A and B are shown apart, each in its own frame.
Chain A
Amino acid sequence: MIEIKNLSYNIKKKKILRDINLKIEDGDFWLIFGPNGAGKTTLLKILLGVITDYKGEIFIDNKNIKKNTKKEIAKKISYLPQFEEFSLPLCVKEILLSGRYPYTSLFKDYSKNDFTIFNNTVDQFDLHEFVNRDINTLSGGERKKVMLASTFIQNVSIILFDEPFTFLDPEAIANLTKFLIKLKENGKTLIIVSHNIEILFPVVHKILALKRGKIVYSGSKLFDKDIFKQTYNVNYEQLISKNREIIYLDE
């Protein structure tokens, strides 16, 4: 369970997040949406422990995350960044094994058990043809699959996704959605930041609408045209209607 209490975060004088209060129960599937610059990614980074100079308190399983080591956090939370940046050649096998890093220590390298989990995941995700390849030679969808697998290997209960659908073709989007549903059924807590609400509304439990660092709505109301309009300043019909052309021209 994640509990966020009175969370605020400023960069210099710019307010990025203002007074956020939120409770995320185990097994919840949250969609966070809102215009660019609303503070969505910042919120994820705070949960992950990348940003620490915030005001307020965050508890994961009733323990303040500031009192956790980074490895302890990584045993509970994993994060899939929007862009995977690999400027150096890097073997897929080593990316996958990194998922077991939280379970190692300075004098304890990856164990036999870690390699068993690694092998099982490679089977499960059907990654045999990729394991010895440089990640940079993989397609966007394949790369996403590898990153998902590395999270899976990490064996966390909470997974944060930042815009997971960007740059994916329809088939890869379908596969990812299928995978998310599977994770949901396995009882994982999922928090997804995405603009692709039409894909996600049917599968999530709860939504958090953010605008300029403030919560517009949080709860289980799921789709609501007013919330949408308030958050994005756009009528939802305008985006999905069959007569979109006419609506646009009318304005």
Chain B
Amino acid sequence: MNKKYILIFGTGVIILLLIPFVGVIKVDFNSLLSNKQTSFIFWQLRVPRTILGFIAGSSLALAGLIFQNIFKNSLATPYTLGVSSGAALGVVFAIKLNLSISFLGLNGVYIYGFLGALISIFLILSIAKIVKSFSIYTLLMSGVAINFFFSSLIIIIQYLVDFTQTISIIRWLIGGITPVGYKEILFLLPLYFFFITITFFLKNELIIASAGDEFAYSKGLNIKKFRITLFIIVSFILGIIISFVGPIGFIGLIVPHISRILFKENFKSIIIATIIMGGLLLTFTDFLARTVMPPIEIPVGIITSLIGAPFFIFILISSLRNKN
């Protein structure tokens, strides 16, 4: 076993086990067993929240890794590709119209987020179909354009809604982990395992895809088909995840990048590291979000970028320095 592995796994397990105990109300083993209120906070609020944070964080990071590989571009993330803003538009729309249908007992907002992501994918693929080119350039550029367009629609809706709705819209747009129950977790878990499984199944294809279209063809991979299929599948999953936690943009960029630096020699390790570190980053920043200024909760999206950006710049500088 690699030392880096043990370090990541070890801190991961420790952080995940400790996080639910810390907060405005401290939980210890005694009160967990004897105090009903404490036990409720622990089991019904903090544990599901930690799990949701981990699932969402690692999914966002994994989606970033996959997009980077299939688009051969380290800036290709759910955020730049328009999927996030599609989901955001859907959710904002739902808040504005006070829409509340529920599906399988889940909050309707999630469905609108998912539908928004679908509209994004549909538009991007339609543009590609019209120009008859499913090249990286077409998909990336239409994604970026749709991103801008949807963002402005979101701002228009924000102007139109009343004050309280604006606050909830802004809060959602910054990104945050809303309290969920086990119902939502049970809904997300199969999706999450499906996502991880296909990533491992397709790891050889992902490696080949990142080496260029001609390389892929010469090794027998139909890269165009692969790229489109994976783009659609990952976007579907993202649409759902984003409707739960908001468009937290930074994780999809920073985590795969750090994983690549740490585990240069093996793509499988890069996948594992991305899954674990993505999950840890979001759970840990969410933990900070609710404990730094109690009882106020800072939206986690702010903390992710606030800590993430300087850390990312630091990593970037030190890795580039080693290269030269």
A71 contacts the other chain (Cβ, under 8 Å)? yes
Q: How many whole Å from B137's CB to the nearest CB in chain A?
A: 13
A29 to B24: give the CA distance in the assembly, Å: 76
CB pair B212 A91 closer than 8 Å: no
B265 contacts the other chain (Cβ, under 8 Å)? yes
Q: How many whole Å from B126's CB to the nearest CB in chain A?
A: 20
Q: How many whole Å from B34's CB to the nearest CB in chain A?
A: 51
CB pair B217 A98 closer than 8 Å: no
CB pair B213 A50 closer than 8 Å: yes
CB pair A98 B207 closer than 8 Å: yes
How many chain B residues sit at the interface, stated as a range, is 20 to 34
A86 contacts the other chain (Cβ, under 8 Å)? yes
CB pair B267 A70 closer than 8 Å: no
CB pair A48 B218 closer than 8 Å: yes
Residues of chain A within 8 A of B219, CB atoms compared: 74, 78, 98-99, 101-102, 150, 154
CB pair A98 B204 closer than 8 Å: yes
A90 contacts the other chain (Cβ, under 8 Å)? yes
CB pair A70 B208 closer than 8 Å: no
Which of chain B's residues has its CB closest to A159's CB? B218
Q: How many whole Å from A106's CB to the nearest CB in chain B?
A: 6
Q: How many whole Å from A16's CB to the nearest CB in chain B?
A: 16
Q: How many whole Å from B295's CB to the nearest CB in chain A?
A: 44
B102 contacts the other chain (Cβ, under 8 Å)? no
Which of chain A's residues has its CB closest to B213's CB? A50
Which of chain A's residues has its CB closest to B319's CB? A89
B264 contacts the other chain (Cβ, under 8 Å)? yes
CB pair B210 A137 closer than 8 Å: no
CB pair A91 B265 closer than 8 Å: yes
Residues of chain A within 8 A of B261, CB atoms compared: 89
CB pair A101 B220 closer than 8 Å: yes
Residues of chain B within 8 A of A109, CB atoms compared: 204
Q: How many whole Å from B74's CB to the nearest CB in chain A?
A: 6
The residues in B between 210 and 249 inclusive whose CB is less than 8 angstroms from any CB of A are 210-215, 217-222
The residues in A between 19 and 73 inclusive whose CB is less than 8 angstroms from any CB of B are 45, 48-50, 69-73
Q: How many whole Å from A46's CB to the nearest CB in chain B?
A: 11
Q: How many whole Å from B294's CB to the nearest CB in chain A?
A: 41
CB pair A88 B260 closer than 8 Å: yes
The one of B211, B220, B323 that contacts A71, using a Cβ cutoff of 8 Å: B220
Which residues in A have some Cβ–Cβ distance to B below 8 Å? 45, 48-50, 69-75, 77-81, 84-91, 93-95, 97-99, 101-102, 104, 106-107, 109-110, 132, 134, 137, 150-151, 154
Beyond the given A101-B219, A154-B219, please list 17 additional residue pairs across the A-B interface where CB-CB is below 8 A: A48-B218, A50-B214, A74-B218, A74-B220, A79-B217, A79-B218, A86-B210, A86-B212, A88-B68, A88-B69, A91-B264, A98-B208, A101-B221, A102-B219, A110-B204, A132-B265, A151-B218
What are 26 A-B contacts with C-beta separation under 8 Å?
A45-B217, A48-B217, A50-B214, A70-B217, A74-B217, A74-B218, A75-B220, A81-B212, A81-B214, A85-B211, A86-B212, A87-B72, A87-B73, A88-B68, A88-B74, A88-B210, A88-B260, A91-B266, A94-B207, A94-B267, A97-B204, A98-B219, A101-B220, A102-B220, A132-B264, A150-B219
